[in-house]
Structure 1
Amino acid sequence: MHAEEHADPPRSDAAALAALIGSSPAGVAVFDTELRYVYVNPALERLNGVPGAAHLGRTVAEVLPDMAVRTDVMRQVLADGRPREITTSGQTWVDSVIERRYWRVALHRLEEDGRVRGLVGIAQEVTATQNEREELKRARSYLTLLDNAAVSIGTTLDVETTCQELAEFVVPVMADAAVVEMIPQDDGQSRREPPPGVLRLRRAGVAATPELADALDQFGGPGTDIDYQEDAAVPRCLAADEPVIENLSGDRQPGRAAPTPERVAAYRAVGLHSAVVVPLTARGRPLGVLSLLRAGDSPPFTEGLDVVVARTLAGRAAVDVDHAYRYTHEHHVAVELQRSLLSEPRVPNPGIEIASLYLPAGEGAVVGGDWFDAIPLKGGRHMKVMGDVMGHGVEAAVAMSNYRSMLRLMAEDDHPPHRVLDRLDKAVERSGLDRAATCLIAVVDRREGVCEVASAGHPPPVFLDPGATGARVAAMPVGPPLGTGFGGYRTTVLPCGPGTVLFMYTDGLVERRGEDIDVSIGRLTRLTLPAGGRLQDLLDEVVDRFADTAEDDIAVLVSRSRGC
């Protein structure tokens, strides 16, 4: 028995109405002017999962409490008689794995003898079509997300910064919270060992929506060590190098999604209900994981677009993290090598004062190939060297070491500066060193009060004479850089009596973009040092006047003889 036998529809011929729409595959309902059911056809009974008789005399909200009802539109149709179409969504009493279903409903006013008798609604489910639209919309937003990833993640060569950028990038577009955790690297620092069977990761990036930010602070921020039990999602993800999706709200295996079973309860308390963990892998080596978490009304993670996009983003970020690790390692090696080569030069003899300065071009910059040296010679003379290998990094530091070693060997033969440069140029060519270098050699004879200088593409030295109001820049020929094989260097003899300060430097001190080098060097003539003043005071003046505007590494070597 159908609902039409329990109530009179607005039309008097119920049998005729049932014959007309009773077999329709679309769900049909007739409402009175108070929007109460007076008729439903069998198709609507099946759609709603409610017998026809249970509809009669009740409103949609009473029959289907989980349905979004547009009663305002229904009343407009009753009022003006103009048919309308609406989309409604929610759940009926029919079991469904779909979280939210959608229907397209046509509304028409019923009239009889000029009187408004009610409303008829014809419903057709469009859940599949709506889901396809939502999926397409989400896919488009994810494509935009992937396009923007290249300029938002990996903006620096710092591991922690890259991890934080990744976490912030996916919130809130893909997740309500995101955590990036890294496998600790062997960087020479001592760390406590985790207990047996426990995987310890270091949290490197955390981001969350404003509603979750305070609650997630209790789980630890960047720099926190997190211990995972063997069957938790993170160890399983790393072991298989595959994404792992976990339901945090279910009761099955509650400890598998979080570091410990106790942590799951804390996750539930703040509303987290779904997680996906994807590996950060580069060059076949696991680096860590990206964990995405959803809370509240956000849909749970499922296999498909979410996981594909998360893994793509994690893969891109892993490459940036790997670059940052490799840069950090190379930078550490280069710094240690350069530090060993830029230690304070040995004083050739008690009558000579020497001071030096090295400033990298900004914090975190890759070290360059600047070097200096002081070498004792026969007859109380001494050689001072200032050099600059082209480029930066480990290769430049290694080349710098080779240059310095070869020059020390050649200095023992006691040749004039230009001869030393000629021999060094040929030796570099034979050695296969692929990095050119500039070099300035100065041999000071304090007994004669002279200084012999020769340059291989290097800026000229500056002399500060006792009592002078300014410094003098040496006028001398400049030969080609070492490693070019051209040779042709010349020695210039310049006065350098007791108390005169010999000032040698690399081009980072003076070169400025868009400025002629002669103008830049000319600024050095304004350097001063009172008679008997400390060499360190001169270096302090250099830092004050030139360091802030430097665009390259700065190395300075200053010396002064006290007389015979």
Structure 2
Amino acid sequence: MQAEEHADPSYADVTALDTLIGSSPAGVAVFDTELRYVYVNPALERLNGMPAAAHLGRRVGEVLPDMNVRTDIMRQVLADGRPREMTTSGQTWVDSVIERRYWRVALHRFEEDGAVRGLIALAQEVTGTESEREELRRARSYLTLLDKATVSIGTTLDVETTCQELADFVVPEMADVAVVELIPDADGPVRRASPPGVLRLRRAGVASVPELTDELSRFGGPGTDVDYQEDAAVTRCLAADGPVIENLVGGEGLNRNRSGPSPERAAAYRALGLHSAVVVPLTTRGRPLGALSLVRAGDSPPFTEGLDVVVARTLAGRAAVDVDHAHRYTHEHRVARELQRSLLAEPRVPNPGIEIASLYLPAGEGALVGGDWFDAIPLRGGRHLKVMGDVMGHGVDAAVAMSNYRSMLRVMADDEHPPHRILERLDRAIGQSDLDRAATCLIAVVDRKEGTCEVASAGHPPPVFIDPGAPEARVARVPVGPPLGTGFGGYRTTVLPCAPGTVLFMYTDGLVERRGEDIDVSIERLRQLKLPPGGRLEDLLAEVVDRFADAAEDDIAVLVSRSRGY
């Protein structure tokens, strides 16, 4: 029931709220910020003795003139958002032999998208039955639970973490046992095929009250494949995209509901005292992702239609959105990682007189891949070109842009232009293409015969030279032009000494950038680089990992090379 005629048009749609507590025996009203009724559930209609339509758009004093209501407390809840309870007394329009009746009212501020929309009031006559008072307590508890769900579920973009958060969240507030199971991802690891007529799900989250934890662990934790027959509650739930309640008294329901219908397993469930279950689907964008199963045991009341199911389905719907986001993130992460891995394969050695080693370290499993790339290209006359680049941003788009940059640079390098000319041509080509991501780039052309290295930079950190027997490495101070893709040009080539045996060390900024530290200070630390005993380039990269990787906040790419002489 909605207050379409009298409600403030900015007020949230209360259809979902009506579904949630419309059937509650507790009287429920929703007020706008001016304390006018915008919703009254059937129970409150009966308590007040007048239809909902007679409430809408009016204040309490106008509807119930003989009721003593503390509107000052209601305004305090609106102002600070702290829930409160108050006692009201008087008479409604219901005939009663009692001279004065009393009600206990719980007040909660209602918000949507960060904006205060009004108040929710839950009223129960103090002299009501014990079961009605319990329903009021549960309604209040569930409203609080739904408020907390937003910050407790979906805190990461990891599917398993989200599912476990959902399971942990509903135990013990709603169930003694909670299990979240997902339809296996088609892009995920290859799993054994399920038998005909069997639904196979992957268990992704399990939680229980402490006294059941040890016993339940032997029935399979997260990562376990679970098979369901056609008549199982989980199968029926997903087929109908709706909740299924199983009251499992006697064990027949247990035998049908679970994956293993063996007498031994059914007996084990009965021994644990499991007696009632509800299964709700995890569905988003019209696509089923899995199911949430809640089970009660011992003295916990059985699940019933109404508040239990609505709250469980609401929580499952919210979690499904988070799981879907995590699925899409995981898929994009996988695609981008594979693309980047294919583009960051060990670069081909330009000729037998050149040693090359490379390193790529992502910032962490939780970070999207970046656009770091490197390459080595043979040139005529024994010369060779090496490049280190970093496309700005992360994800598939950055990896695709990195592929385009690398391909165009390979074509332009074949024309034997000096490094600054290659950067100028690449900058113009990017401006004429559909790429909208800038990139830094460092190009170095080594001439082993002359013992020189021509270097040009487009916004990239400078190269480092490690000379044999030198007390410290050389950080080359070269002119730095703007990043590629900006269209400004203005690149310059600097010629530096690079004799046979000298190691050319190129890297992306993830190696040196540190929060709160000037980049020049970070780069100066690279002067401490030395070849380890034995002189192997791979050992040098291992030292780089030991010294710099732990503090890195971005991806690290390193390319090292050395000429053996002409």
In structure 2, the partner of 1:86 is none
* One-letter amino acid of the structure 1 residue matched with residue 245 of structure 2: I
Instruction: State the distance in 1 between where 2:138 and 2:196 align.
Output: 43
1:218 Cα deviation (Å)? Answer: 3.3
Distance change >3 Å, CA 477–CA 531, structure 1 → 2: farther
Q: Does 1:330 align with 2:332?
A: yes
In structure 1, the partner of 2:299 is 297
Instruction: State the distance in 1 between where 2:537 and 2:253 align.
Output: 72
Q: Is the 8 A contact 1:360 1:367 kept in 2?
A: yes
**1:358-373 pair list within 5 angstroms:** 358-373=360-375
1:253 Cα deviation (Å)? Answer: 6.3
Instruction: State the distance in 2 between where 1:192 and 1:547 align.
Output: 38
Instruction: State the distance in 1 between where 2:129 and 2:474 align.
Output: 83
**1:87-98 pair list within 5 angstroms:** none
In structure 2, the partner of 1:502 is 504
Q: Does 1:182 align with 2:175?
A: no
Q: Is the 8 A contact 2:251 2:270 kept in 1?
A: no
Q: Is the 8 A contact 1:278 1:311 kept in 2?
A: yes
What are the Cα deviations for residues 383-407 of structure 1, in whole angstroms up to 9, with x where unaligned?
0000001111111111111100000
Q: Does 1:549 align with 2:551?
A: yes
SS in 2 for 1:288: strand
In structure 2, the partner of 1:96 is none
What are the Cα deviations for residues 465-522 of structure 1, in whole angstroms up to 9, with x where unaligned?
1211001111211011111111111111111111111111000011111111111111
Q: Is the 8 A contact 2:459 2:482 kept in 1?
A: yes
Q: Does 1:490 align with 2:502?
A: no
Q: Is the 8 A contact 1:232 1:260 kept in 2?
A: no
**1:66-465 pair list within 5 angstroms:** 128-187=128-187, 189-249=189-249, 255-259=255-259, 261-262=261-262, 263-465=265-467
What are the Cα deviations for residues 433-468 of structure 1, in whole angstroms up to 9, with x where unaligned?
011110000011111111111111100101111211
Instruction: State the distance in 1 between where 2:251 and 2:468 align.
Output: 86
1:432 Cα deviation (Å)? Answer: 1.1
* One-letter amino acid of the structure 1 residue matched with residue 318 of structure 2: R
SS in 2 for 1:549: coil
Distance change >3 Å, CA 451–CA 277, structure 1 → 2: same
Instruction: State the distance in 2 between where 1:169 and 1:532 align.
Output: 56
* One-letter amino acid of the structure 2 residue matched with residue 316 of structure 1: R
Q: Is the 8 A contact 1:381 1:444 kept in 2?
A: yes
Further displaced range: 314-323 or 181-190:
181-190
* TM-score, reference length from structure 2: 0.75
In structure 2, the partner of 1:522 is 524
Instruction: State the distance in 1 between where 2:357 and 2:254 align.
Output: 66
**Misfit runs of 4+, over 6 Å:** 251-254
In structure 1, the partner of 2:60 is none
* TM-score, reference length from structure 1: 0.75
Distance change >3 Å, CA 228–CA 530, structure 1 → 2: closer
Q: Percent identity?
A: 83
What are the Cα deviations for residues 260-283 of structure 1, in whole angstroms up to 9, with x where unaligned?
554544422211111110000122
SS in 1 for 2:377: strand
Distance change >3 Å, CA 244–CA 476, structure 1 → 2: same
Q: Is the 8 A contact 2:246 2:253 kept in 1?
A: no
How many residues are treated as equivalent by the alignment?
441
Instruction: State the distance in 2 between where 1:530 and 1:180 align.
Output: 51
Instruction: State the distance in 1 between where 2:555 and 2:495 align.
Output: 29
Q: Is the 8 A contact 2:248 2:254 kept in 1?
A: yes
Q: Is the 8 A contact 2:254 2:269 kept in 1?
A: no
1:424 Cα deviation (Å)? Answer: 0.5
1:216 Cα deviation (Å)? Answer: 1.8
Distance change >3 Å, CA 130–CA 445, structure 1 → 2: same
List alignment gaps of at least 5 residues for structure 2: 1-124
Q: Point out the structure with max Rg over C-alpha.
A: 1
List alignment gaps of at least 5 residues for structure 1: 1-124
What are the Cα deviations for residues 8-67 of structure 1, in whole angstroms up to 9, with x where unaligned?
xxxxxxxxxxxxxxxxxxxxxxxxxxxxxxxxxxxxxxxxxxxxxxxxxxxxxxxxxxxx
1:162 Cα deviation (Å)? Answer: 1.4
* One-letter amino acid of the structure 2 residue matched with residue 153 of structure 1: I
* One-letter amino acid of the structure 1 residue matched with residue 426 of structure 2: L
Q: Is the 8 A contact 1:280 1:314 kept in 2?
A: yes
Distance change >3 Å, CA 533–CA 138, structure 1 → 2: same
1:410 Cα deviation (Å)? Answer: 0.5
In structure 1, the partner of 2:93 is none
SS in 2 for 1:470: coil
Instruction: State the distance in 2 between where 1:555 and 1:377 align.
Output: 23
* One-letter amino acid of the structure 1 residue matched with residue 155 of structure 2: T
Further displaced range: 250-259 or 458-467:
250-259
Q: Is the 8 A contact 2:251 2:266 kept in 1?
A: no
SS in 1 for 2:399: helix
Instruction: State the distance in 2 between where 1:506 and 1:197 align.
Output: 53
Q: Does 1:560 align with 2:552?
A: no
1:230 Cα deviation (Å)? Answer: 0.8
What are the Cα deviations for residues 171-194 of structure 1, in whole angstroms up to 9, with x where unaligned?
111001111111111135332222
1:325 Cα deviation (Å)? Answer: 1.3
Q: Is the 8 A contact 1:381 1:443 kept in 2?
A: yes
1:530 Cα deviation (Å)? Answer: 6.3
